[in-house]
Amino acid sequence: MEKATFAAGCFWGVEAEFRKIRGVTSTAVGYEGGHTTNPSYQDVCTDKTGHAEVVLVEYDPEQVTYEELLNVFWENHDPTQVNRQGPDVGTQYRSAIFFHTEEQKRVAEASKSDRSSSGRYRRPIATEILPAQPFWRAEEYHQQYLEKRGLASCHI
């Protein structure tokens, strides 16, 4: 199994999309990229901890490639938005890819470059590509939030 971590706005809808992918063995929502330890949802919502809402994806690379996961990431949010997705505003909703290996970094940068030059977006892609940092698992009520409530998706 390998790990991938993505920030693409509110983690509820992002997690739901990754859970649909064959080869994804588990997901967890949490916080990454900030400067405090063990932040709570309330802490992150102050927009002062520097954390993004992220989804940690564990996957079987024999069933799904990192490139395929990147496609899910790109297709399920607006990567040109800075510190927001839809009605959600704040640095916790930024677009970011947290790479776990140098190969993931290379593939993510190539994917971003391809998307940037595709002509698909009217604005520049704002997605950050950063090394994986400590992942702080979100409170249990956030895990598989939409599934637990019988919802297929949210506004993202």
Angle at Cα 67 formed by Cα 153 and Cα 148, nearest 5°? 25
Starting at the edge strand found earlier in the chain, the sheet holding 2-8 runs 128-131, 95-99, 2-8, 52-59, 24-32, 136-137
B/e letters for 100-130, b = 16+ CB within 10 Å, e = fewer, are eeeebbebbeebbeebeeeeeeeeebbbeeb
Catalytic residue among 10, 24, 52, 108: 10
Indicate if 45 belongs to the active site. no
DSSP state letter for 34: -
d(CA 58, CA 27): 6
DSSP state letter for 138: P
User: Which residues form the catalytic set?
Assistant: 10
